[in-house]
């Protein structure tokens, strides 16, 4: 079985979905599936990176530099779509095309799949961006084409019940949908045998409470809510430290850059001195293993893989409520994590302080969280579900063609 994973944003550009796609590809390769990740690259040339069991194929998408930045961005997506079609046409041996998130590549992939009679899977990843309801109601010049293609995919994947609900609202066929959550490598993301050693290696205080956040430092991730809560935590526990792991560098004068600068400026100097920014890194697991608590006040996700990564590390998690996501991951009993209301920095601070006051309860929640992740979100199990889905789609196409 040969699978093409299509994703426009991929390393070295940071992409949470890109990390997940590569992890899934690695595990599928161990199952004997031949996987190619097809992604965009600067420049006109095509490059192939052959790894253990899978390949990363970068197709050039580089509009002329004299164009304005906004036009270059738009044309880059269109060029990527055309080059995806051209590449697939030159290598007709794929059995399934799996498009991750909405980009123009969906159009190029659809065209080739229609022409070659190969099943196309479209994976929806973020509420308000590429969920089915949003896609089918958004109006723009080519909305008719988007609606036509979105309605005619052979299969669909949603990562959470929240995305599944939007799919059903859109009136798309239930039989074509699979809810397949994102997975985690529970061997890599696991409690450390020596938290003190990890902290020393990372330069963190060994005997002070460490709270960690993982995600881009942007509005959608709720970093402003966390930074408003932090002075309250510091006032009660001045020895505590806050570690921010994730993208913190943005284009100069961009909205994200201005937002982060403003939020940090509002944090009192004493509390700000106890905030440590890590930036984008490859060892997120180490920072989670070094922490006592994980906080994630995100406003909107499609799933939120970092939550199950923290749970897999045995961390008690404090997150803001996202119906169809946080209830799906943590349940309603409160024994696998703490869910607080959106936009409520006081509730977030109170939950953090409650966990710090009761380390035995925090440890119990962390253990229960890890057990649940192993049971429901281990990437090995998730990959098996994809293999079953791909197999069903291939068989369905063959049946329709009378093969």
pTM for this predicted structure: 0.94
Given this model, what pLDDT does residue 332 score? 82
Q: Which helix (H) or strand (E) holds 39?
A: strand 34-41
* pLDDT-based confidence at residue 158 (cuts at 50, 70, 90): very high
Q: Do 125 and 166 contact (CB within 8 A), yes or no?
A: no
Higher pLDDT pick, 212 / 103: 212
Going across the sheet that includes 47-50, the strands are 47-50, 54-60, 34-41, 2-6, 96-100, 120-124, 155-158, 177-179
Residue tagged 């270059």 (tokens) = 72
Given this model, what pLDDT does residue 375 score? 97
Supply 215's token pair: 């995600």
pLDDT tens-place string over residues 318-332: 999 999 999 999 998
- Maximum Cα interatomic distance, the chain, rounded to a whole number of Å: 71
* pLDDT-based confidence at residue 264 (cuts at 50, 70, 90): very high
**Helical H runs in 238-344?**
255-265, 269-272, 284-290, 305-312, 326-330
* pLDDT-based confidence at residue 204 (cuts at 50, 70, 90): very high
What's the average model confidence in pLDDT over 177-193?
Answer: 97
Residues with Cβ within 8 Å of 256's Cβ and at least 6 positions away in sequence, in order, are: 216, 218, 219, 250
Task: Measure the CA–CA gap between 40 and 79, rounded to whole angstroms.
Answer: 9
Supply 38's token pair: 């097809």
**Residue 12: is its pLDDT beyond 90?**
no
What's the average model confidence in pLDDT over 285-296?
Answer: 98
Q: Do 1 and 95 contact (CB within 8 A), yes or no?
A: yes
pLDDT tens-place string over residues 68-98: 666 566 677 788 999 999 999 988 789 999 9
Higher pLDDT pick, 75 / 143: 143
**Residue 143: is its pLDDT beyond 80?**
yes
CA dihedral over 242, 278, 222, 254, signed as positive or negative: positive
Task: Measure the CA–CA gap between 210 and 292, rounded to whole angstroms.
Answer: 5
Q: Do 68 and 28 contact (CB within 8 A), yes or no?
A: no
- Which domains, and CATH codes, for the chain? 2-183+379-401 (3.40.50.2000), 195-376 (3.40.50.2000)
DSSP 247: -
Given this model, what pLDDT does residue 78 score? 86
Name the nearest CA neighbour of 62 among 46, 86, 49: 46
* pLDDT-based confidence at residue 65 (cuts at 50, 70, 90): low
């Amino acid at each position: 079985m040969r699978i093409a994973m299509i994703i426009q944003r991929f390393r070295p550009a940071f992409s949470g979905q890109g990390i997940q796609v590569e992890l899934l590809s690695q595990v599928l390769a161990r199952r004997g599936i031949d996987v190619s990740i097809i992604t965009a690259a600067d420049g006109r040339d095509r490059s192939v990176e052959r790894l253990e069991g899978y390949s990363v194929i970068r197709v050039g998408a580089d509009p002329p530099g004299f164009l304005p930045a906004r036009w270059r961005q738009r044309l880059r997506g269109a060029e990527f779509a055309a080059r995806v079609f051209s590449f697939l046409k030159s290598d007709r041996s794929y059995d399934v095309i799996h498009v991750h998130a909405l980009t123009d590549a969906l159009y190029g992939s659809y065209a080739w799949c229609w022409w070659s009679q190969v099943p196309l899977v479209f994976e929806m990843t973020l509420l308000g961006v590429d969920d089915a309801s949003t896609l089918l109601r958004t109006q723009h010049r080519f909305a008719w084409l988007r609606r036509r293609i979105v309605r005619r995919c052979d299969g669909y994947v949603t990562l959470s019940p929240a995305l599944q609900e939007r799919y059903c609202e859109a009136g798309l066929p239930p039989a074509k949908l699979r809810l397949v959550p994102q997975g985690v490598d529970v061997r890599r993301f696991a409690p450390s045998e020596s938290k003190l050693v990890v902290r020393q290696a990372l330069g963190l205080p060994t005997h002070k409470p460490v709270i960690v956040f993982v995600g881009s430092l942007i509005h959608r991730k709720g970093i402003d809510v966390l930074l408003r809560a932090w002075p309250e935590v510091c006032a009660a526990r001045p020895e505590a430290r806050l570690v921010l792991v994730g993208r913190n560098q943005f284009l100069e004068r961009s909205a994200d850059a201005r937002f982060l600068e403003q939020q940090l400026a509002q944090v009192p100097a004493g509390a700000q001195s106890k905030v440590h920014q890590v930036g984008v890194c490859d060892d997120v697991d180490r920072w989670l293993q070094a922490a006592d608590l994980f906080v994630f006040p995100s406003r909107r996700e499609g799933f939120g893989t970092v939550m199950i990564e923290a749970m897999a590390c045995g961390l008690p998690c404090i997150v803001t409520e996202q119906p169809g996501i946080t209830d799906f991951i943590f349940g309603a009993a409160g024994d696998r994590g703490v869910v607080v209301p959106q936009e409520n920095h006081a509730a977030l601070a109170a939950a953090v302080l409650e966990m710090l006051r009761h380390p035995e309860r925090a440890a119990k929640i962390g253990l229960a969280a890890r057990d649940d992740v192993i049971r429901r979100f281990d990437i090995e199990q998730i990959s098996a579900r994809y293999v079953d889905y791909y197999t069903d789609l291939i068989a369905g196409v063959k049946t329709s063609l009378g093969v």
